[in-house]
């Protein structure tokens, strides 16, 4: 495309809340055949709510106090959901120290000589904590597309919370339109296999890659590229930044973190996946008309 056509194209994008940082990005976008999307905050609202509380051998209030104490030290959206439910139920969080994040797994902290854990199945498995008492509830939550949060005290399971994060109103339609444009869609998430599968099916996505540790997101994009695909990656989180940089075109959600926005080639100001579809259409139109 000519420089003028590209200027007109990027200008048109900007008018519609799609900031494309370079002419090269616009040109590359016209030829992508695969869209990789992060789940939390990209396909979903990224504002999970706690929908169930299941204490195990301790009172509900104590579970919530410990959960809130642990999550007070975390920046994760799931942490905000836990703090909200504790506040709603009038439970004050237990004061903790020695916070340590287990990246892509959960958090750990200490209080009164006890070690507390909050996280997913992977974290509990790593610490040798058996999940038999909550297995049925755990599976039911995941099958419904909710994220199970597990809590332990000194290697003893003390409860399970379920967090639901609803898809954005336009996500399903955007995925359908990507398909209509001939693109394939892959969902990438740190969430567990079954929760991811429920969301994949609900959104009509052909492939989901779950349980991806933050440091491995970019490797999955690289793998698709090595298989001959030209990849656009859409994400919002710090976790997504390396994958956004690795992709042929990185597209950040406008409401996402600064690091994601800095790593991307384009930004969706309205945080709406339909604008990612519009960006591909715009890129193709620019390339088609003025080559
Ligand atoms: P994603 O943003 O796709 O959920 P993350 O790598 O941030 O990916 O987290 C992966 C999983 O690790 C989460 O789905 C959750 O099960 C668990 N996890 C991460 N942080 C926390 C936390 N602060 N409390 C509880 N669980 C957590
Ligand atoms: Mg995200």
Say yes or no: 31 and 70 in one domain.
no
Q: What's the ipTM?
A: 0.95
- Among residues 113, 145, 164, the one where a domain terminates is 164
Q: Are residues 62 and 97 in the same domain?
A: yes
Kindly compute the dihedral angle of the four CA atoms of residues 121, 122, 126, 129, in this order, to the nearest 10 degrees: 0
Segments forming the whole domain that contains residue 39: 3-45+167-289
What token pair was written down for 28? 């590359």
Asked whether residue 96 falls in the same domain as residue 182, the answer is no
Q: Cα-flanking dihedrals φ and ψ of residue 220, to 5°? A: -70, -35
Structure token digits, residue 254: 């406008």
- Tell me the CATH number at 226: 3.40.50.1000
Do 55 and 70 lie in a common domain?
yes
Q: What is the pLDDT along the chain (291 residues), one digit of tens a residue?
A: 788 999 999 999 999 999 999 999 999 999 999 999 999 999 999 999 999 999 999 999 999 999 999 999 898 899 999 999 999 999 999 999 999 999 889 999 999 999 999 999 999 999 999 999 999 999 999 999 999 999 999 989 999 999 999 999 999 999 999 999 999 999 999 999 999 999 999 999 999 999 999 889 999 999 999 999 999 999 999 989 999 999 999 999 999 999 999 999 999 999 999 999 999 999 999 998 755
Domain end (from 100, 133, 164) = 164
Task: Please answer whether residues 36 and 224 qualify as being in contact, where contact means their C-beta atoms are separated by less than 8 angstroms.
Answer: yes
Kindly give the pairing relationship between strand 147-153 and strand 156-164: antiparallel
Say whether both 66 and 160 belong to one domain.
Answer: yes
Q: Are strands 97-102 and 266-268 parallel, antiparallel or unpaired?
A: unpaired
Domain with 128 in it: what CATH number?
Answer: 3.40.1110.10
pTM: 0.91
CA of 55 to the centre of ligand 2 (A): 28
Same domain, yes or no: 221 and 279: yes
Domain boundary among 107, 141, 164: 164
Question: Ligand 1: which atom is nearest the Cα of residue 214?
Answer: 6
- The number of folded domains in the chain is 2
**Catalytic-residue membership of 248:** no
Residues 116, 221, single domain; the answer is no
Q: Calculate the CA dihedral of residues 275, 142, 240, 100 and round it to 10 degrees.
A: 140
Ligand 1 center–CA 161 separation, angstroms? 13
């Amino acid at each position: 495309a000519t420089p003028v056509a590209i200027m007109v194209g990027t200008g048109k994008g900007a008018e519609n809340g799609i900031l494309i940082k370079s002419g090269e990005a616009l040109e590359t976008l016209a030829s992508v055949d695969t869209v990789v999307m992060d789940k939390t905050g990209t396909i979903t609202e990224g504002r999970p709510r706690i929908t169930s509380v299941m204490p195990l051998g301790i009172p509900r209030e104590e579970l919530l106090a410990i959960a809130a104490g642990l999550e007070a030290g975390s920046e994760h959206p799931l942490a905000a959901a836990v703090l909200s439910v504790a506040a709603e139920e009038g439970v004050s969080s237990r004061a903790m120290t020695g916070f340590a994040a287990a990246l892509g797994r959960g958090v750990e902290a200490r209080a009164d000589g006890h070690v507390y854990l909050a996280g997913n199945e992977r974290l509990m498995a790593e610490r040798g904590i058996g999940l038999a008492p909550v297995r049925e509830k755990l599976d039911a939550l995941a099958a419904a597309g909710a994220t199970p949060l597990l809590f332990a005290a000194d290697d003893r399971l003390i409860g399970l919370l379920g967090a639901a994060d609803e898809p954005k109103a336009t996500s399903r339609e955007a995925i359908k339109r990507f398909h209509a444009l001939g693109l394939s869609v892959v969902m990438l998430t740190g969430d567990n296999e079954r929760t991811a599968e429920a969301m994949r099916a609900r959104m009509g996505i052909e492939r989901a890659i779950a349980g991806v540790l933050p440091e491995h997101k970019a490797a999955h994009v690289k793998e698709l590229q090595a298989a001959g695909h030209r990849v656009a990656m859409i994400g919002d989180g710090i976790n997504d930044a390396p994958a956004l940089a690795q992709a042929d075109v990185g597209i950040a959600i406008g409401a996402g973190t600064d690091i994601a926005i800095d790593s991307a080639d384009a930004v969706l100001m309205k945080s709406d996946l339909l604008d990612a579809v519009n960006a591909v259409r715009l890129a193709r139109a620019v390339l088609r008309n003025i080559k």
